[in-house]
Amino acid sequence: MGGGLAVGTLLLIGCRPPVETAPFIEDAKEDKYNIYSPLLFKYFLAEGIINGHTLLVASAKENPANILQELPAPLLDDNGKKELEDVHSAKTPEPDVNMKIAWRYQLQPKTEVGPVSSSRFGHYYDVSKRIPQELLESSKWHGFFLPEHIPPGLKGETCKKQKNILRIGIQNLGSPLWGDDICCKENCENSQRLTKFLYVLRGLLRSSLSACIITMPAHLIQNKSITTRVRNLSDTVVGLESFIGSEKETNPLYKDYHGLIHIRKIPRLNNLTCDESDVKDLAFKLKRKLFTIEDLAASATPLGTGCSSRAGGKKHLDF
Amino acid sequence: MKVSNCKVCFVALVQSFSHYNIVGQKLGVNLTSARDRGQLVFLEGLKSALEVLFHSQEGPHPLQFLREAGAGNLQSLYTFVKDALKPSDSGESPWKYPVLLVDNLSVLLSLGVGPVAVLDFMQYCRATVCCELKGNVVALVHDTEGAEDEGNDILLNGLRHQSHLILRAEGLATGFCKDVHGQAEHPLEEATAHSPAGSKCHLPIQDTG
């Protein structure tokens, strides 16, 4: 995606791929078992904690406190650990803080799994371990859990605080748990409530130091027009297609992967155009520790030959 | 704007003023100075939506339909446009013709306005801006062919009948190409010897970065 998730924008994960895209995904299934989109959601939040950003987590299904408990643990070398201590003890961001938010899915050969310095743009995470409790306790976060109608604890706070980036994560927006019927009926009454919310959210994001990630069960939305409108209101749209339960699970082309990533839309901020050449044909895999994303076209090798083409096909995907 | 010396009302619903300003600069137009000298009246939809919803407002607001329950009507938005483009009481104006720009009409459907209300708004704008004030209206609409968006289809079909010129821009049928960003089609009412109806042209978008 080239450069991170820009402050002021909205990233939407999970939209249904359109029928008119490339023939080989014409019967694509989404991440309908909801396995991988929560993982990306947690990466976004974990990166916020590592960078000392404030979090706002909203969910209708899971208590935000529990979501945070399940964030992956960062992989840090000694330099990284020291920087992390500085971030969480001082609680004051650098005056010239880089306003771009990034989590990196570094493409690397299978044998190379290593910790990196946190001074780099983005961090690595070990998905088999939970984030240390002390990191959570020293972080600043707000939760919105619909069943408990907890009001956001933002009222009454004065504006005399240090400027910091707010990362907003909203889980499964549009699902019936949020009280909408867009996943239940084709002619629903609540579709405009959702799109109106997204529009106002866009306005809030544009006028603040915040970035938002939303996961949406697009495969449940009955009315295709809602999906299109939601997509138009988002800056970045990513679709996850899991191979679970699909014939692609046994396709030799995809034997090393667990699913595909479809970049439906990338932002055109302050520009008329954007370079789409780097965001095609992406696949992901989840191994014990790492979630990696690779350029499928570059890493594909003819059957019977070695894997020598891998090194040249790596892409850095900074979110 | 620079060359034709028009008074412009820009109803910008999709991006911030800063975005349009930066894009404008790449195209050789300075929106900030146009706004400062009174040539441009800019409605920043994203910012105005926050004002009308979160701050108490006295009097009408162009986006006050956001506060209303049920299908909204765009009368207050039309009043805003009319007030922005009408000549001063003295009748003298440094600007030649008015222009209304709207980016974009489809997003109004997402904000709870019905397609008929949007068409009514456009009809009123056309009557005032085009017929009365001899100006032009340029509006952007999403083409949602295949998306089963009945509301947007009604809007699109209605506008097609009202429009003198339709410019349809889309990606290339053959896929992504680095140097050519898309193609534009302008279906004409009558084909002539030199311009066959519905001719398409490929267009690169030059972005100075």
pLDDT for B12 beyond 80: yes
The pLDDT value recorded for residue A19 is: 32
Identify the residue whose tokens are 């970035």. Answer: A211
Peptide bond before A98: cis, by omega within 30 degrees of 0? no
A199 and B110 within 8 Å at the Cβ level: the answer is yes
The pLDDT value recorded for residue A296 is: 74
A297 to chain B, any CB pair closer than 8 A? The answer is: no
Out of B111, B205, B207, name the one closest to residue A199 (CB): B111
Tell me which chain B residues have a C-beta less than 8 angstroms from the C-beta of A233.
107, 110
The pLDDT value recorded for residue B90 is: 67
How far is residue B147's CA from residue B167's CA, in Å, rounded to a whole number? 20
Report the gap between the CA of B163 and the closest CA in chain A (Å). 24
B177 to chain A, any CB pair closer than 8 A? The answer is: no
Tell me which chain B residues have a C-beta less than 8 angstroms from the C-beta of A229.
106, 109-110, 149
A187 to chain B, any CB pair closer than 8 A? The answer is: no
Please return the burial class of A151, using the count of CB atoms within 10 Å of its CB with bins 0-12, 13-18 and 19+: exposed
Say if residues B19 and A270 touch (Cβ distance below 8 Å): yes
* Mean of per-residue pLDDT scores for chain B: 80
How far is residue A5's CA from residue B66's CA, in Å, rounded to a whole number? 29
B35 to chain A, any CB pair closer than 8 A? The answer is: no
Report the percentage of chain B scoring pLDDT > 90. Answer: 47
A225 and B18 within 8 Å at the Cβ level: the answer is no
Helices (H), B11-98: 17-26, 31-36, 45-54, 75-85
The pLDDT value recorded for residue B96 is: 80
* Most B-contacting residue of A192, A212, A231, A275 (CB-CB within 10 A), to test interface: A192
Say if residues A25 and A32 touch (Cβ distance below 8 Å): no
pLDDT for B125 beyond 50: yes
How far is residue A260's CA from residue A239's CA, in Å, rounded to a whole number? 8
Name the more confident of A299 and B198: A299
Parts of chain A with a pLDDT under 70: 1-4, 15-34, 77-121, 149-161, 182-190, 272-280, 298-319
Report the gap between the CA of B183 and the closest CA in chain A (Å). 14
B205 to chain A, any CB pair closer than 8 A? The answer is: yes
Tell me which chain A residues have a C-beta less than 8 angstroms from the C-beta of B115.
none
The pLDDT value recorded for residue B81 is: 95
Lowest mean pLDDT among A83-87, A303-307, B67-71, B200-204: A303-307
A21 to chain B, any CB pair closer than 8 A? The answer is: no
Out of B49, B144, B151, name the one closest to residue A199 (CB): B49
Out of A203, A225, A276, name the one closest to residue B50 (CB): A203
In sequence order, the β-bridge partners of residue B169 are B184
The pLDDT value recorded for residue A91 is: 44
Name the more confident of A2 and B13: B13
Say if residues A301 and A307 touch (Cβ distance below 8 Å): yes
The pLDDT value recorded for residue B73 is: 85
CATH of domain B3-206: 3.40.50
The pLDDT value recorded for residue B182 is: 54
pLDDT for B47 beyond 90: yes
| A249 Cβ neighbours under 8 A, 6+ residues apart | A243
Q: Domain map of chain B by residue range?
A: 3-206
Residues in A 125-164 with any Cβ partner in B closer than 8 A: none
Question: If phi over 0 gives left and psi between -120 and 50 gives alpha, with beta otherwise, what is residue A123?
Answer: beta
Tell me which chain A residues have a C-beta less than 8 angstroms from the C-beta of B148.
223-225
Identify the residue whose tokens are 């001082």. Answer: A90
How far is residue A104's CA from residue B207's CA, in Å, rounded to a whole number? 28
B91 to chain A, any CB pair closer than 8 A? The answer is: no
CA torsion sign, A50 to A56 to A60 to A64? positive
The pLDDT value recorded for residue B199 is: 47
How far is residue A18's CA from residue A264's CA, in Å, rounded to a whole number? 9
How far is residue A57's CA from residue A70's CA, in Å, rounded to a whole number? 13
- Number of Cβ within 10 Å of residue B40's Cβ equals 23
A225 and B142 within 8 Å at the Cβ level: the answer is no
Name the more confident of A106 and B78: B78
Out of B110, B152, B178, name the one closest to residue A192 (CB): B110
- The helices-and-strands tally (H runs, E runs) of chain B is 7, 7
CA torsion sign, A92 to A97 to A98 to A99? positive
